[in-house]
Every structure is written in structure tokens, then in C-alpha cells.
Structure 1
């Protein structure tokens, strides 16, 4: 039973009826596909905002969010039941990651009551899309090595620097930003987290075009951006405490109890037809090698689903290793690469060279194959996940670091002279 007194099964029954009456079938853009152009993307964004508002008006937004901020105050089991009933139906995919997690999750954990009252309701209503700004052009996976700087100026902070690989920042509303606020202490001790609206003077957003022609990732340039101290999240120079939880929620991704996403929806691999249809198009349904590949992909799906449930249950219990989400991050990256490779192998010659007609019929297994390593980079690299698993879960010796205990301003950066 939840605090509201509604059992999971009663909630499931209510959700099932509402979903059937109000939500249509899953759409291609719900499967994390790229839209044909910016106009189509903005149409899809508007649709997702409307879908999120529909969930809110129907009483199914923020299932695990506190009631005082517009949520339902229910349990992760209630969210899991809703996700299971949502299978096969449309949902506001763009709002889930990173808006609900890690951004809203961080606001719930570290925000002041005033910050939560101001920002959580618009998120639940679909009025505010958030992005996370962690990576920097010169930082790679070293998040704590941030050089984007915020300097105190009375009741404000002045932000200068750059962030990169921010997904969909060009149409987002707010950003969560990790900045350097003290250069005289070791790098992990001089960071602070801020939230800022993205449509204001001093912020320039540039699109980054990838190999497949899409440009949803962005780079932001900050020039004397003024941030009120009331928009600081957590303590001054306490950004690594916030950031550690931030990266936990980022690795949780669709496993988070804050995320509404149909159970069984693939999070990586191919954008086109199911693998069986792909094999049929290639004339390989009777090929034992092709059938084995299809079976392997199905096994990956089963393991992914089971691992998601286990990680979500462990996180909800509050008793599991807080770094366990790195296991999921590592598996999801490697499994997505393998699924994409399987699709490439099944498609045969059509994957090596394709026409627009081939892409319309079979998706783009060749392009997906060329971009397969994105699954191991975005959302935190699998290399970092391996380190977290080895050091913080298995207890292996930590990797040597040359900047341990050194004031950040004294840490060498860039090529040596």
C-alpha cells in the first residue's frame, strides 16, 4: 500500500483504463529516432509537451514525486506498474531523460523548498524541458576538471566558459550546470552547481553536426552570464557532492523511478525494422547463423529488462550500493553496440550501401553501425563505468591520479611546453 492508501494493483487497474482511453499507439519518435529536420523535431517536441500535460491532467505525472510539488507521492512499484501498462503506447520520450532524471531528481534531492516549488510543477506539466551541462571541450570524461567558472558578485554569480555535447539544448528551457567556484583547492572541492534559463543574454548555443547529419547535440558558450545565488543548487563548493548523485541518476536513466517509459522499449540498437523483418528482407530467415543472431539479440533484451528491474528495485530499497547504477550503464552501452552489430550483420549488403528507399524499408543499420560507439560515450562513458564498478563495487585499487591533493590552479592543463 502507498501513503495514499491505493494499492499497486488498484493503481494498475486505474492506469490501464486511462491509458487505453487517452493514449494512442507508440510512435517512431518515441523510439529515440531522429526527426527528418528541425521543423519535424519541433512538432515532436510540442507533441511531447502536450503528452506530458495530458499525463498531468489525468493524474499520472510524477508518480513518485512528492504531493506538495504536484506529484502523486506513490512508490516505485506504482511507477513500475504504470510503465508496464504503458507498453505499446505513446509517451513523452523527450521529457524523461534528462529532464526527469537526472535534473528533477537532483532538484528533489538538493533543491531548497522554494526551488522545488518553483521548478518541479512546470516540469510535471510539460512546461519546462531541462538539460544537463557537465562535459567541457577540454575535459573529456574528467567531470571534476571543469574550468567553466562562476565568480561571486554580491548576490549573484558571473558565469564564463563552455559546455559541450548537451543534447537538445537548442530548444530546451533550463539547464543544470557544474561550474568552478574555487581554484585554490583540489579539483573536487571547488565546484558548485547552478541552474539557469537558456534563453538569456550571454548564452550562445551552437549545434554540432554528427556523421549521420543530425545535430541534436550542442555546445554552449557563456559570457558574463549573471546567475542569482538563489539559483545555486547545494552548498558553495559542494558541487561534487551534488555531482556524484547527479551522475548516479544519469546512469540510472530509464531505470529511475522518476521516469515514465513503457516497459520493454529498447534503449539502443537499431532504428529500423525488427530484426526478424530485417532478416526476411535479406532472404536469411532459414539461415541458422541469422537465427542465432536474432536469438542473441532477444537474449540481450531479456537480460536488459531483468537488470533494469533489479537495479530499480535496489535503488528504491535504499540499501544497495549507490554506485550499482554503473553496472547498468556499462551493460547498456555494450549491449547497444552488440545489437547494432547484429543488425548490420543481418542486413547484409544493404547495410554497407543503401538508398533512401532501403532506409525507409529497413532503417539505417549501416549508419547505426558507424555510430555504434555513441552508446558507450553519451551519458557517461563505459570506461568510467568500468572504473566505478572495479573500484567502488568490487573494491579494487584506485587508479593513480597525479592531481590528488593539488590546488586546481596548479594542475597542468593542455600540452606541456
Structure 2
């Protein structure tokens, strides 16, 4: 099965429906069919706010909303019509994002299902794979996760040791993936595995797709210090994947993986993702800082007002930067690796705003009561603030990408670059 990457950017042809016509239609439908969100109902850094049953009920509701959007011809705005999308422009998606702000929306289905997973399928999948999965994704029938990081290779993605061995027409996968948010309620996975140990680490990789709920895939949840159990670790034991579920060429997974990580970093700017306007990576923004200051009784404090102002500036810069990067990449005035700039700013600004909220909360940051309003749980948010610089690709890797692939600085030295991966020293899980 040989596939060539295709351009996933929506066509520049004139849309059937103008942006303003689409906006008006979306606005009418949203207000007639969706519930307003409780202000800051999902604020915080991965807070454990739901029981398992409540979580599953929310997932079911988001699948339902996604199907409602599909039936109303409001889903897959920039996806090709051949796969159930509307084939409209990024401007249409931005208009929809603005109109859905303040209303419930299928948040869990956006990342990584729409980006990077569906984006990778569009770019590298076979026609049969796209016809089988993209419509199901747009209807909310399939929620996808990315099996990428491993216990022994987090930021160094190319060092994966999950193996895939060809047996007849099937591949047999063995290994472990980790830090997969929501794998316990998801359906399919995009999985990076090693198919060749006798070449350098970047050259012996292949990408596969596989259903999560099957024999041989054991999903174990990881409890964080605040009680959140969304992160998962998956153990793959003799998982059989047909060759028809391979993405791209054998041993050429790094070509797919590079674009995979591009789409991951482009989350905020992706034309495939529905995301309310002004959404903050990490769930804390300047508006919430006002609520924290109010409930902490510090709205009149000059330093608190300075912090709120700083938070607002970060919000404005983030939104402007996202637009600039998205426009630049689409017009090819910026290299696609410029997505790392947005990733870096999103992680650092979110960490900063979470730290400011902790500062404003005062002593309540260390001890609070459940009825303390916006200042409750700010302390655990502070302890978990660095997760926004780790999940979705670390900010340290983003710095490397910016320096080497955007600014053209010399590459970082790597002793394993030209060595067969079999001969690269590793930890206790090294392959003999």
C-alpha cells in the first residue's frame, strides 16, 4: 500500500455559502439547539470535577452534539465534501467558532480526533481509510486518540520501542504507550510503531490505526495528584493490525509523524477544529482572573489589577499570534513548523496566568473550602501548571523546532543519528 501525502488545506474556490450567510445560519441553529455554558464551568488545569458516570454521560452528550452538527450541515466545515464535510474555508470555521462561544460544544472530540488524527488521515490515508473513518468522525461515531508517547520516550518521539512485526497480511504490535488523555472512553488510535531496528531511529518507523476496544489492548488509568484520572497508559500485547490499516509506507513513519506533530501544534489554528473564540490552553484566562480577584476580595488591590491587565494582554497576544501563524502557514509565507511558535506561547502564557491566579488567591491558594467560588482549587491548578508545557508536545521541543527549522540555527548534536536503532544504548527495556 503506497500513499502520497495530499494537501489538506481547503480549496480556495468561492464557497457556495458566504461567510456571513453561514454565520447567520450557525447563529440561529446554535441558539435554538445548544445550551449556554455555565461561566468557567470547565476552568482549571485538568480538574477532577466529574465521577466516571458523569464523564461518560458528558462524552455521550458530546457525541450527540457532534451528530446534531453533522445533520445540520455544520460539521466538518473545512473537510472535503467527498468525506462528509462542507468544503468551506477557514474563515467559515472562524465564524462558527465565534458564534459557538458561550455554548456547549463537543470539546473532547476536537483534539486529538479532528487534529491531529483526522488531519493525518486526510493527508496520508488511503481513499478507503478516509471513506471509512472521516464520515464516522464527523458524525461523532468515532473518537480517536494518539498512541505516541512511551514510558521510555516522551519528547524523543522517534525513539519509540513499540514493535510491529509483519506476519502474513497482518502486523503484530507489542509495547506500551502512555499519557493518552481519555483513552478509556475512546474508539480508535493512531499509533506509531517500530518496524525496522537495523536503521537509524527516524527511518524504521511506521504508522498504524487500530480500534482501542479489542483483545490485546489493556488501558490503565493514571491518577494525578488532584485525583484526575484522564491520562492513561496502554499495554499492547500481540495486537493484530491488518496491513490495510497502515498509514503511509513501511519504515517511512517519520514522514507521517512530522506532519502528525505539525497538526498537533496547530490545534489552536487548525481549520478542522471547532474551538470557541478566546479559548485558553489550560482553562485559565484573564476573565477568570477577575472572578478570582472578586472572590478573594482583592479587586481594588493595585497589584491585582496589574496582574489582571497582564492576563488580558496575554489573551490578546495569543489570539493575534494564532491568527498570524494560521494565515502565514496557509499562504506559505511562514514554514509549517512555525506552528511551534504558537505551541510555545500557549504553554508559557497558560502557566503564567495560572501562576497569577495563585498569586491573587492569597492564602486560599493553600487552603480553601468547596464554596469559596473561583478561588477553590487554585492551589492544585498551580501545582499542575506545568502540564500545559508538556501535553501536546513539550515547550522544550517547540524551542528546538523554532531554532532549527524556523530560524535555521545549527542542529543539536545527536550521537544516535546515524546508528542502527538496535545499537543505540537504552534503559532496561532495550531490545536485545
Q: Which TM-score band applies after superposition, normalised by the shorter structure?
A: over 0.9
Runs of 5+ unmatched residues, structure 2: 1-11
**Shift of residue 379, structure 1, vs aligned partner:** 0.5
**Shift of residue 140, structure 1, vs aligned partner:** 2.5
1:206 to 215, 220, 225: 220
**Shift of residue 321, structure 1, vs aligned partner:** 0.5
The question of whether the paired residues in 1 share the 8 Å contact of 2:170 and 2:242 is answered with: yes
- Distance (whole Å) between structure 1 residues aligned to residue 279 and residue 162 of structure 2: 36
Q: RMSD in angstroms over aligned alpha carbons? A: 1.8
**Shift of residue 36, structure 1, vs aligned partner:** 2.0
What's 2:343 paired with?
A: 329
What's 2:18 paired with?
A: 7
Output one character per residue of 1:34-62: Cα deviation in whole Å (capped at 9) or x when no partner: 43211111011011101101110110000
1:288 to 289, 302, 305: 302
**Shift of residue 20, structure 1, vs aligned partner:** 1.9
Instruction: Report the TM-score, using the length of structure 1 for normalisation.
Output: 0.96
Runs of 5+ unmatched residues, structure 1: none
- Distance (whole Å) between structure 2 residues aligned to residue 273 and residue 292 of structure 1: 14
**Shift of residue 274, structure 1, vs aligned partner:** 1.9
In the alignment, is residue 23 of structure 1 matched against residue 30 of structure 2? no
- Distance (whole Å) between structure 1 residues aligned to residue 285 and residue 18 of structure 2: 37
What does residue range 301-320 of structure 1 map to in structure 2 within 5 Å? 301-320=315-334
Instruction: Report SS of the residue matched to 1:320.
Output: coil
In the alignment, is residue 176 of structure 1 matched against residue 219 of structure 2? no
In the alignment, is residue 270 of structure 1 matched against residue 281 of structure 2? no
Instruction: Report SS of the residue matched to 2:175.
Output: strand
Output one character per residue of 1:235-264: Cα deviation in whole Å (capped at 9) or x when no partner: 111100000000000011132110011111
- Distance (whole Å) between structure 1 residues aligned to residue 220 and residue 31 of structure 2: 41
- Distance (whole Å) between structure 2 residues aligned to residue 108 and residue 318 of structure 1: 19
In the alignment, is residue 398 of structure 1 matched against residue 386 of structure 2? no
- Distance (whole Å) between structure 2 residues aligned to residue 295 and residue 140 of structure 1: 36
Instruction: Report SS of the residue matched to 1:227.
Output: strand
- Distance (whole Å) between structure 2 residues aligned to residue 354 and residue 337 of structure 1: 21
Aligned pairs, number: 415
The question of whether the paired residues in 2 share the 8 Å contact of 1:76 and 1:316 is answered with: no
What's 2:67 paired with?
A: 53
**Shift of residue 355, structure 1, vs aligned partner:** 2.5
In the alignment, is residue 70 of structure 1 matched against residue 89 of structure 2? no
Instruction: Report SS of the residue matched to 1:237.
Output: coil
1:117 to 105, 125, 131: 131
Output one character per residue of 1:70-103: Cα deviation in whole Å (capped at 9) or x when no partner: 0001111111111112221211000000000000
**Shift of residue 361, structure 1, vs aligned partner:** 4.8
- Distance (whole Å) between structure 1 residues aligned to residue 242 and residue 423 of structure 2: 29
The question of whether the paired residues in 2 share the 8 Å contact of 1:203 and 1:221 is answered with: yes
What's 1:374 paired with?
A: 387
2:153 to 114, 121, 139: 139
- Distance (whole Å) between structure 1 residues aligned to residue 13 and residue 94 of structure 2: 13
The question of whether the paired residues in 2 share the 8 Å contact of 1:181 and 1:192 is answered with: yes
**Shift of residue 4, structure 1, vs aligned partner:** 3.9
The question of whether the paired residues in 2 share the 8 Å contact of 1:30 and 1:92 is answered with: no
In the alignment, is residue 259 of structure 1 matched against residue 255 of structure 2? no
Q: 1:284 to 1:4 in 2, by over 3 A?
A: closer
Output one character per residue of 1:159-191: Cα deviation in whole Å (capped at 9) or x when no partner: 000000011001100000000000010000000
Instruction: Report SS of the residue matched to 1:356.
Output: coil
2:142 to 128, 140, 165: 128
In the alignment, is residue 93 of structure 1 matched against residue 107 of structure 2? yes
- Distance (whole Å) between structure 1 residues aligned to residue 405 and residue 323 of structure 2: 21
